[in-house]
Structure 1
């Protein structure tokens, strides 16, 4: 059993703090998708009648977003635009995507955005001006909760998170241009709800402690300001992976696999060190294999296999296990060391020397608590939440990351 030193715990807290993006960046991201939500609800909007709901997805929604390795790097704002008053049998995937293209292009023009609207398989992309460090992917979607629940139940699968499922567009889908009810599925809200359930105990415990420290009510502590060891551990593991595969991005383990396995392995540990050791020890136990194929089911839609590419690209499976072995070696060793400099030197090769030394310097005098995202408990009590758990109507629109 690994004994984690207090020096290692302090270092890991500082490392997570260094990776956490500033409240200003959160506010800037929120302002961008709220602005789009307001635009889609204006009187002249061609989609206003369909009740467009804009909400975040991916690492911003899960609270696991990290600063780019390069201080001038881009932040990806992954979002969904769900037309809540439309159904799949009323239009094609192409028609939905085109309907939103017209509105998003009009928004881009009205905002005097210089860069052209980009298109991905499933989304439209707004590129903000140089220096803004943001681009926003907007996935067109329709409600799909009932269909998804019936499908999962017919297969005897867990459908508890299905009510928030959506149907999305994919221009590579065989029925993209044809009327059909068979659309690609997603469920960013359902996944986020599952993820929150995995850290619910630790979240409540930390929020209560913050309220006590601030002599405030629990409800006055904004949810987005509370960060759990699970979220902090995932942030650290993502940076370790990014650095390790900086020259091999084609086989880099995808974030949704790291996040899903980490959440499964997490058992409400109270510190980052305890969480990291627990996660790295057990995360591969949640990978299924039938002798040929590997399975990491999407908890919100078990018919989706996050490891589906491993059969076609066995090098990606090998890369995951290579990363896991390296992460275990690096962090298991660091967890047992008492010298901050030795910890720094041991993790620097795979998180970056500059980051490792900033964490060392931050931890040296006294590791500031990172229970609260960069802010004091007192200021948190007065802050407004950025990414609400539920979508709201324009002005305050509130999703799961791209793979």
Structure 2
């Protein structure tokens, strides 16, 4: 009989950025940092988003896998009171344009970043590097965060990123490093499970990234994936396919998925991928009563935490390192309905099916991640043949497929 946890881990690994491409990305932004310093622009570069939390999933656009998109902060040590957001943005952009190599890769200016396109880094897989100019946050904001009970070490990492609207520039509060530390603190207990064995496997499979005399201890944690990180990767890909096949633009953002998954995972002891996935989805399902303006049911150990709230017809999913920042600020009731419909689909596709009924189990995996993807990531040689009739071809889809679920 198949092992569900192992299957899910392999599927998530097939969606992940490889250690060699991770190394390539780090090498690229470190190179930019050194180049800027040679131009008299001292900047600290560090990753943000899924690259920082180790939950990278290869993006999809219109059902097709696209290049990896890596976000990095370019933190300049300027005071926002003596330099404008436009000046900071253009300091970085103008320097990149002066270099032949970077100028050829530079894309048109984005609202918050400069994008460098590294096409086909490995096979047909390319890399887009989003460089986000920023300056340190004002001390008053940091003190406010601390007053709101945000961990002092998280709060101190707050920054201001440049934000362009049409031809007007401004500052936007952000704290990707503080968020990363918050996530690390939750993920730590999950990361420690089988850590040595995972590092040994990474070392053996990626000899080119390490010295000949490298030991297991030399493998950095950021190459390793915990069950929590795998769960988030699986949810992000299921989301992409589910909302694509149903023709909906109401899909939840990755930061919502990551934040809610981590908060729920913080409540329990470390679990295998399949067990944690079930725990997270059941935890999210508890909030569906908010659609009826009813209080979520109490859990076995008391009142349900306010990870998702609805107050005065406004949906709230607070940023864990800035309570005033609402990740669900764009949500309408339609977004919430679509979210909980997606949660129901995950239960149907991934939670309820078990290897005891292998046909149903494999069908659920293929519905979730695409037939081709499943065949490439897990060995189906000894599995029963399936009656799967609803495929999505990840490489070359022609049109949306599957159920015509109406989000209304």
**What TM bracket, shorter-length normalisation?**
0.7 to 0.9
> Cα RMSD over matched residues?
2.9
1:260 matched to 2:259:
yes
* 91-100 or 276-285, which deviates more: 276-285
What is the Cα deviation at residue 15 of structure 1? 1.5
Distance 1:205 1:275 in 2: 13
Shift of the 300–88 alpha-carbon distance from structure 1 to 2, 3 Å rule, reads same
Distance 2:13 2:382 in 1: 13
Decide whether the 8 Å contact of 2:43 with 2:76 is kept in 1. Answer: yes
Shift of the 79–210 alpha-carbon distance from structure 1 to 2, 3 Å rule, reads closer
Aligned position for 2:111: 121
Map 1:196-207 to 2 at 5 A: 196-207=184-195
Decide whether the 8 Å contact of 1:288 with 1:296 is kept in 2. Answer: yes
1:307 matched to 2:307:
no
Aligned position for 1:227: 225
Q: Which of residues 126, 139, 143 in structure 1 aligns to 2:136?
A: 143
Q: Which of residues 73, 82, 88 in structure 2 aligns to 1:90?
A: 82
* 168-177 or 89-98, which deviates more: 168-177
Partner secondary structure for residue 79 of structure 1: strand
Distance 1:363 1:299 in 2: 44
Shift of the 83–102 alpha-carbon distance from structure 1 to 2, 3 Å rule, reads same
Partner secondary structure for residue 23 of structure 2: helix
Shift of the 155–62 alpha-carbon distance from structure 1 to 2, 3 Å rule, reads closer
Q: Structure 1: which 5+ runs fail to align?
A: 178-182, 366-403
TM-score normalized by the length of structure 1: 0.77
Decide whether the 8 Å contact of 1:46 with 1:103 is kept in 2. Answer: no
Decide whether the 8 Å contact of 1:14 with 1:363 is kept in 2. Answer: no
Question: Over residues 80-114 of structure 1, what are the superposed CA-to-partner deviations in whole Å (9 max), with x where a residue is unaligned?
Answer: 10012x1111111111111111112223x24462x
Distance 2:4 2:215 in 1: 32
Distance 1:363 1:105 in 2: 52
TM-score normalized by the length of structure 2: 0.76
Decide whether the 8 Å contact of 1:340 with 1:360 is kept in 2. Answer: no
What is the Cα deviation at residue 8 of structure 1? 1.7
Q: Structure 2: which 5+ runs fail to align?
A: 204-213, 288-304, 384-408
Aligned position for 2:18: 22
1:169 matched to 2:162:
yes
Map 1:355-370 to 2 at 5 A: 355-361=373-379
Decide whether the 8 Å contact of 1:169 with 1:176 is kept in 2. Answer: yes
Partner secondary structure for residue 164 of structure 1: coil
Aligned position for 2:27: 31
* 17-26 or 249-258, which deviates more: 17-26
Distance 1:118 1:76 in 2: 16
Decide whether the 8 Å contact of 2:44 with 2:74 is kept in 1. Answer: yes
What is the Cα deviation at residue 147 of structure 1? 3.1
What is the Cα deviation at residue 186 of structure 1? 0.4
Decide whether the 8 Å contact of 2:97 with 2:103 is kept in 1. Answer: no
What is the Cα deviation at residue 337 of structure 1? 3.0
Aligned position for 1:190: 178
Decide whether the 8 Å contact of 2:193 with 2:226 is kept in 1. Answer: no
Aligned position for 1:330: 349
Distance 1:104 1:212 in 2: 39
Question: Over residues 245-299 of structure 1, what are the superposed CA-to-partner deviations in whole Å (9 max), with x where a residue is unaligned?
Answer: 1254621111000000000111342310111011111134621222421211111
Distance 2:311 2:166 in 1: 27
1:346 matched to 2:364:
yes
Shift of the 292–173 alpha-carbon distance from structure 1 to 2, 3 Å rule, reads farther
Decide whether the 8 Å contact of 1:229 with 1:270 is kept in 2. Answer: yes
